[in-house]
Structure 1
Amino acid sequence: MGLNEHSNGHSKSNRWMKLSIYMGAFISHFTAGIVNVALPGLSGTFQTDLATVQWITTAYLLVISLCLPLMGHWGDRLGHRTVHNLGYLLFTVASVLVAFAPHVTALIVCRVLQAVGAAMFQSTNMALLTVHLPKEQRGRALGVLSTAVALGAMTGPIAGGLITEWLTWRWLFVIHVPAAVLATFLAYRYIPGRQTTNKARSFDGVGALCFAAAIGFLIFGVSRGGQAGGWNSAQTWMPFIISGISLLVLLRWESRHPEPFLPVHLMRKPMLGVGLAVSLISFALANAVLVAAPFYLMTFARINHAALGYVMTAYPILLAVTGPLAGSLSDRCGPKRLIVSGLGAMGAGSLLMALFLDSLSLPGIIVVLALFGTGMGLIASPNNSLMMNLTPAAYSGAMGSIIALTRNVGMVLGAAVALGLLSGQTEEGLRHEADAFYTIFVLNLILSLAALAVFVLVALKSRRLAASGIDS
């Protein structure tokens, strides 16, 4: 076989490998959002209260968040391909089982199995792209991956609404199965078997337990915030207190453990720490706006649900265009300026909404959504590329899982804060919807500016240290 033929064959295999990974990223987030709009109907179908059926969504998000670092750890030990592809198998089988669940308890159990599978391939997809692609292609690949995640999260609720209107509830859980089967086939066929060999590390059970408590109680507290009692109740704040204590214990334990569950020693590189913070904040900012925008459009623009769907597409369209482009630019020009531009775009969108809350026209609202879509596209892939390039190969799975964790937690927190403010159950006791919207966008502006300032300061400091010959 000639050199060109070999190169073309390798390039073709890489394309199929990337497609299989992108499909998994899309499907797992599509599945997370497709159920939300159907929860009231499922409550009637299973003749149970809404608080119970909400666990169909909450359990899925919670189990993914708990399992991500664990699966990243096993990916580094057993091989990213092994964990990733087994995750596809488990996810696909569990999806079929969910659709045939006889009662709500069985459905939630099957959703937990589905979430474990999703965590297996979410935690290893970035590592696979980083290991098997040349450095000059990683940024674009991670950009497409980020776009697939966002498009899955955006299209899930739309599909859920159509299925709820026209089909039975079982279609919510099987509509993606053909795509999952295809992704599984492509993954086993085209993801290379070669794997960097990493030294086996002992399992840090105490660290894993503390992490599970910190994340589990955090998400449990967030899920209770919009329920009876709201954010002011002791039942809501107690999980947050337990989560904070668990986090402090985790950080202290991990800093002294020779082989920690979470590679906290990597945070000695300031750019890694600030990159994770930017990831969490940017997804929280975007999700807060995506949750608040439909309420805003119906309250101030007074548009119907059909028009609402068209207006909301401004976000995913700009994200789909900007994400891969930003990934390519980060490969050639570096990621930092793109991240700064992305945070600036999100801040500009928040400023527009805060200044012209009562008078912004429909085209103006579309511009704001486009700014957030552009901002997320400029941030996600360059930021992921920055962090993965700073991570030693032996920890690529663990870091990929932590990045995915910040994304999931950011989305949950952004949605919870926006819904909490709009429900009028916040500590400030907001009485008017306008006040709630104003608070959401001002908070977004403050957070985006704070993240921008910290990122720029840390980047400048890292550049000075690099110029001095010190590893930053």
Structure 2
Amino acid sequence: MTEKQAFWFLITICLGAFMSHFTAGIVNVSLPYLETIFQSPLNSIQWITTSYLLVITALLPIMGKLGDRYGHGLIHNLGYLFFTLSTILIAVSPNVYVLMFFRILQAIGAAMFQATNIALLSFYYGKEQRGRALGIMSSVVAMGAMTGPIAGGLIAEWLSWQWLFLIHLPVAVAAVGLAYRFIPIQRLNYAPKSIDPVGALLFFIVIAAMIYGLSSVNTHGWLSINIILAFITGGIALALFLLRESRQANPFLPIQVLSIPSVSVGLITSFITFFLINTVLVVMPFYLSHMTSYTPLYVGLIITAYPLLFAVTSPVAGYLSDRFNLKLFLFIGLSCIVTGLTIFTYFLVDLSTFSLVTVLALIGIGMGCLAAPNNSYIMREVPLTHAGSIGGLIALTRNGGMFLGAVLGLGMLSGRTGQPPSYTDFGSIFKVSVIMGLLCFAVLGYGVFSERQKKQNDLQLEESS
């Protein structure tokens, strides 16, 4: 791949990373507007967002597995096409139910390119450039998450609802054309093993049931028949999935690869850190709205400190992690995140506006230092035959962590029925987050220790032979 091709290859990958997070943010902030437009109750309208998240998260490992079998470029580029066509269909939907159906199709397309983009970058960029490429993509993700809500607010104020989806159509069309030109779709040069369809279906049911159950708890309550049935279904599917996996010569999840310390530790780290980050991003607007006199616009500007510093730091950290010990960046990033959460836990009530922005910026720097190096840490020992599967699991841990972080934050805030949240409530949420952060330190420490033990054992085997 020439330097020019590598440049446009990365641009094309980043367009998808931007679009999927931009459209999620733009729709999330516009749900009240859509509720008014379609004259539907909020518990129906919220499925425009929930169904999108549910389908993407549940399909990520499956799409990654399909990428391993049929080629990451093929699945990725088909995802762009699917996403673009469904965007057009959403804009001409006659009612909210048709819109939800096409939104699900859009989520399928997003899952296809989200599950394969890390595998593509890992394959076409060597270890000496991989961190920089992943850092740039992480920065673009942050930019999409940052600009989506702003665009959603402006469209809800000035334009028709169709523009919530049509606004990114030019980018989507450009992505389809660039993908056709710069992302190869040839089959891989090895004989891929078949995919276990029953295992894939059971895994989908597990993820979908758990997401539905947890996302509906605040609406229906833990003892609702819908919630109980969702968790029972998920539990039965999980038991059947584990039983089937133990008997398969080619299991759906690559167990041997997951046993590599850098892979398992990196995936757990990804889940915990995105859990921590989304807890902050969900809870902090409630704190600023209920406990201060800030306007919604001012609240939004304060929160922007996190994605802005994340976007600035991520490519720099990715570049440096290619040249220095990348595990160092994992500990630096996690230290920044836990420090910020600790300040929120014990000093939140005393923080000025400038201090709030500074702490959010510190957390953004921490996530920028951690995200891309952690993805490199995971992928560096993953064989090409499983790059798509592990790339899909990376995206799954990111989305799953963000989802559960939101569930924890909103669940703890809504636990005081009929009462507004207090400083104690916010402090308790951040205290739980600090504990999770310390647990992540232990996981990273275990990973470093396991790698050293493995190297020593390998060295002893070489000497004995």
Which TM bucket (shorter chain)? Answer: over 0.9
Corresponding position: 1:181 with 2:173: yes
Q: State the distance in 2 between where 1:337 and 1:245 align.
A: 41
Q: State the distance in 2 between where 1:275 and 1:134 align.
A: 19
Equivalent in 359, 364, 388 of residue 373 of structure 1: 364
Q: State the distance in 2 between where 1:241 and 1:356 align.
A: 41
Q: State the distance in 2 between where 1:159 and 1:463 align.
A: 48
Corresponding position: 1:172 with 2:161: no
Gaps of 5+ in 2: none
2:293 corresponds in structure 1 to 302
1:442 corresponds in structure 2 to 431
Gaps of 5+ in 1: 1-8
Equivalent in 92, 102, 107 of residue 84 of structure 2: 92
Q: State the distance in 2 between where 1:60 and 1:49 align.
A: 18
1:24: how far off? 0.4
Change (3 A) 1:255 1:379: farther
Equivalent in 133, 137, 142 of residue 145 of structure 1: 137
SS in 2 for 1:48: coil
Q: State the distance in 1 between where 2:355 and 2:235 align.
A: 40
Q: CA RMSD in A?
A: 1.9
TM-score (norm 1): 0.93
1:295: how far off? 1.4
Equivalent in 422, 434, 441 of residue 433 of structure 1: 422
1:213 corresponds in structure 2 to 205
Q: State the distance in 1 between where 2:216 and 2:322 align.
A: 42
| 1:280-302 deviation line (CA, Å, top 9, x unaligned) | 11111101101111111223342
2:275 corresponds in structure 1 to 284
Q: State the distance in 2 between where 1:350 and 1:129 align.
A: 32
| 1:355-396 deviation line (CA, Å, top 9, x unaligned) | 112111111111221122111111111111111112110110
1:235: how far off? 4.0
Q: State the distance in 1 between where 2:432 and 2:438 align.
A: 10
Q: State the distance in 2 between where 1:404 and 1:352 align.
A: 29
SS in 2 for 1:123: helix
Change (3 A) 1:256 1:404: same
2:400 corresponds in structure 1 to 409
Corresponding position: 1:389 with 2:418: no
2:26 corresponds in structure 1 to 34
| 1:295-336 deviation line (CA, Å, top 9, x unaligned) | 112233421122222211211121011111111121111321
1:362 corresponds in structure 2 to 353
Give matches, 1:330-345, under 5 Å. Answer: 330-345=321-336
SS in 1 for 2:322: helix
Q: State the distance in 2 between where 1:430 and 1:441 align.
A: 19
Is the Cα–Cα contact under 8 Å of residues 421 and 430 in structure 1 kept in the other structure? no
Percent identity reads 48
1:433: how far off? 2.5
Is the Cα–Cα contact under 8 Å of residues 301 and 361 in structure 1 kept in the other structure? no
Is the Cα–Cα contact under 8 Å of residues 70 and 188 in structure 2 kept in the other structure? no
Structure 2 letter corresponding to 1:239: A
Is the Cα–Cα contact under 8 Å of residues 232 and 425 in structure 1 kept in the other structure? no
1:27: how far off? 0.3
1:430: how far off? 8.3
Is the Cα–Cα contact under 8 Å of residues 60 and 115 in structure 2 kept in the other structure? yes
Q: Point out the more displaced range, 438-447 or 43-52.
A: 43-52
TM-score (norm 2): 0.94
Structure 1 letter corresponding to 2:294: I
Q: State the distance in 2 between where 1:237 and 1:351 align.
A: 35
Corresponding position: 1:321 with 2:321: no
Change (3 A) 1:142 1:55: same
| 1:184-211 deviation line (CA, Å, top 9, x unaligned) | 1111111235553232322212211221
Equivalent in 71, 81, 85 of residue 73 of structure 2: 81
Q: Point out the more displaced range, 133-142 or 203-212.
A: 203-212
Corresponding position: 1:69 with 2:61: yes
Give matches, 1:109-258, under 5 Å. Answer: 109-193=101-185, 196-229=188-221, 231=222, 233=224, 235-258=226-249
1:265: how far off? 2.5
Q: State the distance in 2 between where 1:445 and 1:127 align.
A: 32
1:233: how far off? 4.6
Is the Cα–Cα contact under 8 Å of residues 331 and 441 in structure 2 kept in the other structure? yes
Change (3 A) 1:425 1:390: farther
1:416: how far off? 1.6
Q: Point out the more displaced range, 241-250 or 118-127.
A: 241-250
Give matches, 1:49-64, under 5 Å. Answer: 49-64=41-56
Structure 2 letter corresponding to 1:274: V
Is the Cα–Cα contact under 8 Å of residues 147 and 319 in structure 1 kept in the other structure? yes
Change (3 A) 1:317 1:403: same
Q: State the distance in 2 between where 1:403 and 1:297 align.
A: 32
Structure 2 letter corresponding to 1:372: I
Q: State the distance in 1 between where 2:87 and 2:455 align.
A: 49
SS in 2 for 1:203: coil
Equivalent in 343, 346, 349 of residue 352 of structure 1: 343
Equivalent in 440, 443, 449 of residue 460 of structure 1: 449
1:3 corresponds in structure 2 to none
Q: State the distance in 2 between where 1:425 and 1:77 align.
A: 50
Runs of 4+ deviating beyond 6 Å: none
Q: State the distance in 1 between where 2:35 and 2:63 align.
A: 32
Is the Cα–Cα contact under 8 Å of residues 269 and 443 in structure 2 kept in the other structure? no
Change (3 A) 1:282 1:109: same
Q: Point out the more displaced range, 178-187 or 188-197.
A: 188-197
| Number of residue-to-residue matches in the alignment | 460
SS in 2 for 1:446: helix
